[in-house]
Amino acid sequence: MEGIANAAEAGLLSWSLAFAAGVTILVAAGSWRSGLRSMLMRGVLTALIFALIGTGLYQWRLAEIRSAIAASDCNKFSAPDRQYVLELCYAGDMNVIRLWSADQSSLLAERTFPDLTHEPMRTYWGKGKLEYESDNRYELEVIKLPPTLKDRLLARLP
């Protein structure tokens, strides 16, 4: 797997293209007095389209990475209160964290991020939260317990 490099580059490229397309349309539009509103609308619409395409490509790449993970690449741990099961997966240059219900019947949250150090992930169970070290080793990422609606919906994506 080539990891996050391609996915992150695709996301960054799409946002850059969206900004450049909007600026180009505004600059090349000609007369500023006539049709300024339509030029702005076209620029915003073009930027939105590029941003949506980039976000879609990025999510597709992450889904591709998550689906390629074998069970042997993962370790499971129970929460101290036994309400959740944490699954840590290592997939080449990527790490995946999955939070399951205690009976492992439903996936509650899932996060994918690059593995820049190739060291074991550190996780910390706190009151009402699960903290973990992601690609930024100086800040802990947080999954609230119980997971938010956003986490539950994102976990259902392929």
**Beta pairing, strands 84-91 & 123-126:** unpaired
Count: domains in the chain: 2
Determine which helix (DSSP H) or strand (DSSP E) holds 141, and give its type and residue range: strand 140-144
Report which of residues 155 and 2 the model is more confident about. Answer: 155
CB 140 within 8 A of CB 124: yes
Report which of residues 108 and 155 the model is more confident about. Answer: 108
Which of 28, 46, 67 corresponds to the end of one domain?
67
Mapped onto helix, strand or coil, the DSSP state of residue 32 is coil
Per-residue model confidence (pLDDT) at position 149 = 94
Whether residue 79 is found in the same domain as residue 55: no
Whether residue 97 is found in the same domain as residue 125: yes
Report pLDDT digits (tens) over 29-39: 555 556 777 77
Per-residue model confidence (pLDDT) at position 76 = 92
Report pLDDT digits (tens) over 3-28: 444 555 665 666 666 666 666 665 55
Whether residue 59 is found in the same domain as residue 116: no
Whether residue 88 is found in the same domain as residue 34: no
Which of 30, 49, 67 corresponds to the end of one domain?
67
Containing domain of residue 111, as a range? 71-155
Report pLDDT digits (tens) over 59-73: 888 888 777 777 778
Residues 6+ apart with CB under 8 A from 9: none
CB 62 within 8 A of CB 7: yes
Give the mean model confidence (pLDDT) for residues 94-121.
86
Per-residue model confidence (pLDDT) at position 83 = 92
Average pLDDT, the chain: 79
Report which of residues 11 and 115 the model is more confident about. Answer: 115
Whether residue 9 is found in the same domain as residue 77: no
Whether residue 60 is found in the same domain as residue 80: no
What percent of the chain is predicted at pLDDT more than 70? 76
Residues 6+ apart with CB under 8 A from 31: none
Give the mean model confidence (pLDDT) for residues 99-105.
89
Per-residue model confidence (pLDDT) at position 26 = 57
